[in-house]
């Protein structure tokens, strides 16, 4: 079997663009992948197009060799664009391998280490009451773990002491509604510039029985993250902004994290994530994959979770209810807060080309966060 082509598909889901790809072969087996849409994301598509000749004509089963050759020919350390492009291709190659073998991908990665995969659901709202009520409605569907922001939407524009006071009120209000039993995590989104402020925030919200605090420092500030972890009294999670085994090894060697969060669409794909998880296992660190983009990404996360010993929990945002779910032919929904293991060969997802074709991409970026004094903020 040889690769005959790689085709990309770019679609707007109402809030951001999605980048899908298909790798075709001369035996009629097609693999489906997705690359992270980093916003701006056309650069990722251009990178896939540049890489295409490196893969066409090659044996798709040589996944390690193909990806290593691509990384080596680029010579310089890869950035987010290249890692995202390679991640999408990696997923498609594993999809081909699974279809060729007639097995779900996780069975090619060592087999099932668990019978089902637990998820936490994102919860939203402008007020603590709205966030809590959202969680309460999800608890009725069987979910037992949630994640939200501890910060109000205007936190960059108000005095820091007010931010802290409102964060405490926000968490107290949510806990009052959902009770003490559900797991509750918070995400700071690498947006706080000073680690001293992240520590102050952690001290305010730690009493509310948190599962973890996510990204309290910029991902590239590994030393700062390590210092925070020493002072935290709750698990520190990070890693969605890191790519490749080497950066994650730096993070782990610095003893800077309790839970790593590689994203399958930009960390290097399933092969790289499996290696990253192994290094984390050696450091007694668990894995909670970052997963904000949709059903294909979720399927990849479930395959990884099913095949590693140190999986913790998978991010989930109810994507089966969103427009982006229309880009995928298959329906997949957690049952009582867990995904059942896939049974179809490969990753188990296919693209709905008709829907994709009528939702062309639009210009999209993340916008520009600004502090009260007009200086650019992290987003």
Burial class from Cβ neighbours inside 10 Å (0-12, 13-18, 19+) for residue 65 reads: exposed
Instruction: Examine the pLDDT at 285 and tell me if it is beyond 90.
Output: yes
**What is residue 232's predicted lDDT score, i.e. its pLDDT?**
96
290 an active-site residue? yes
How many C-beta atoms lie closer than 10 Å to residue 351's C-beta? 20
Q: Which of 121, 134, 290, 317 is catalytic?
A: 290
Q: Where are the domains of the chain?
A: 3-102, 107-345
Per-residue model confidence as pLDDT tens digits over 221-230: 899 999 999 9
Per-residue pLDDT band at 51 (split at 50, 70, 90) = very high
**What is residue 220's predicted lDDT score, i.e. its pLDDT?**
81
> Average pLDDT of 128-136?
95
Here the tokens at position 177 are: 């509604």
**What is residue 173's predicted lDDT score, i.e. its pLDDT?**
96
- Residue 24's H or E segment, with its range, is strand 17-25
Sign of the torsion angle spanned by Cα atoms 340, 341, 346, 347: positive
3-state helix, strand, coil in the chain (%, to 5): 40, 20, 40
Q: Which of 189, 283, 320, 353 is catalytic?
A: 189
Measured at the CA of 76, the angle between CA 82 and CA 33, to 5 degrees, comes to 20
Q: In angstroms, how far is CA 270 from the centroid of its own chain? A: 12
> Average pLDDT of 272-280?
98
Per-residue model confidence as pLDDT tens digits over 240-269: 999 999 999 999 999 999 999 999 999 999
CA distances (Å), 334 to each of 295, 303, 305, 315, in order?
11, 14, 14, 12
Sign of the torsion angle spanned by Cα atoms 243, 249, 255, 260: positive
Instruction: Examine the pLDDT at 369 and tell me if it is beyond 90.
Output: no
How many C-beta atoms lie closer than 10 Å to residue 5's C-beta? 13
Q: In angstroms, how far is CA 241 from the centroid of its own chain? A: 9
Measured at the CA of 79, the angle between CA 246 and CA 70, to 5 degrees, comes to 80
Q: 146 has which bridge partners?
A: 121, 184
Contacts of 222 (CB under 8 A, 6+ apart): 250, 251, 254, 256
pTM: 0.95
Q: What distance in Å separates the CA atoms of residue 164 and residue 304, rounded to the nearest whole number?
A: 37
303 an active-site residue? no
Q: Which CATH architecture describes the domain 3-102?
A: 2-Layer Sandwich (3.30)
CB 78 within 8 A of CB 313: no
Longest dimension (CA), the chain: 63
Q: What distance in Å separates the CA atoms of residue 349 and residue 172, rounded to the nearest whole number?
A: 40
Per-residue model confidence as pLDDT tens digits over 304-350: 999 999 999 999 999 999 999 999 999 889 999 999 999 999 999 99
Q: 213 has which bridge partners?
A: 186, 236
* Residue 291 DSSP SS3: coil
State which CATH number among 3.20.20.120, 3.10.150.10, 1.10.3430.10, 3.30.2350.10 fits the domain covering 107-345. Answer: 3.20.20.120
Q: b/e string for 306-322 if b means 16 or more Cβ within 10 A? A: bbbebbbbbbbbebbee
* Residue 331 DSSP SS3: coil
Q: b/e string for 175-213 if b means 16 or more Cβ within 10 A? A: bebbeeebbbbbbbebbbeebeebbbbbebbeebebbbb
How do strand 145-148 and strand 183-187 relate by DSSP bridges? parallel
**What is residue 370's predicted lDDT score, i.e. its pLDDT?**
85
Based on DSSP, count helices (H) and strands (E) in the chain, helices before strands. 12, 12
Q: Which residue has the tokens 């050759």?
A: 69
Residues for the chain: how many in total? 379
- Residue 238's H or E segment, with its range, is strand 236-238
Phi and psi at residue 346, to the nearest 5°:
75, -150
CB 342 within 8 A of CB 106: yes
Across 75-79, 115-119, 337-341, least confident range: 75-79
């Amino acid at each position: 079997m040889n690769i005959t082509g790689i085709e990309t598909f770019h679609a707007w889901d109402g809030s951001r663009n999605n980048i899908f790809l298909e790798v075709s072969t001369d035996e009629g087996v097609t693999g489906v992948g997705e690359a992270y849409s980093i916003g701006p994301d056309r650069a990722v598509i251009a990178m896939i197009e540049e890489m295409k000749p490196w893969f066409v004509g090659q044996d798709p089963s040589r996944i390690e060799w193909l990806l290593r050759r691509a990384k080596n020919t680029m010579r310089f350390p890869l950035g987010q664009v290249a890692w995202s492009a390679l991640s999408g291709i990696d997923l498609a190659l594993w999809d081909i391998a699974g279809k060729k073998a007639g097995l779900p991908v996780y069975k090619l990665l060592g087999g099932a280490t668990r019978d089902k995969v637990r998820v936490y659901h994102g919860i939203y709202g402008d007020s603590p009451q709205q966030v809590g009520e959202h969680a309460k409605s999800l608890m009725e569907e069987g979910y037992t773990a949630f994640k939200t922001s501890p910060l109000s939407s205007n936190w960059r524009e108000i005095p820091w002491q007010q931010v802290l006071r409102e964060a405490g009120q926000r968490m107290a209000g949510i806990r009052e509604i959902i009770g003490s039993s559900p797991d509750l995590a918070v995400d700071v989104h690498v947006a706080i510039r000073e680690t001293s402020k992240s520590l102050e925030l952690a001290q305010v919200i730690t009493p509310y029985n948190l599962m973890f605090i996510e990204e309290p420092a910029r991902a590239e500030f590994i030393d700062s993250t390590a210092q925070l972890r020493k002072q935290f009294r709750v698990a520190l999670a990070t890693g969605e902004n890191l790519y490749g085994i080497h950066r994650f090894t730096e993070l782990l060697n610095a003893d800077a994290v309790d839970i790593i969060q590689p994203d399958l669409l930009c960390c290097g794909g399933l092969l790289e994530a499996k290696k990253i998880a192994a290094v984390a296992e050696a450091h007694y660190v668990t894995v909670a994959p970052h997963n904000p983009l949709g059903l294909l990404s979720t399927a990849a996360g479930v395959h990884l979770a099913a095949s590693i010993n140190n999986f913790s929990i998978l991010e989930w945002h109810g994507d089966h209810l969103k427009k982006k779910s229309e880009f995928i032919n298959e329906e997949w929904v957690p049952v009582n807060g867990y995904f059942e293991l896939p049974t179809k060969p490969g990753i188990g997802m296919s693209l709905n080309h008709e829907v994709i074709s009528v939702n062309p991409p639009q210009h999209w970026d993340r916008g520009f966060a600004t502090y009260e004094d007009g200086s650019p903020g992290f987003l």
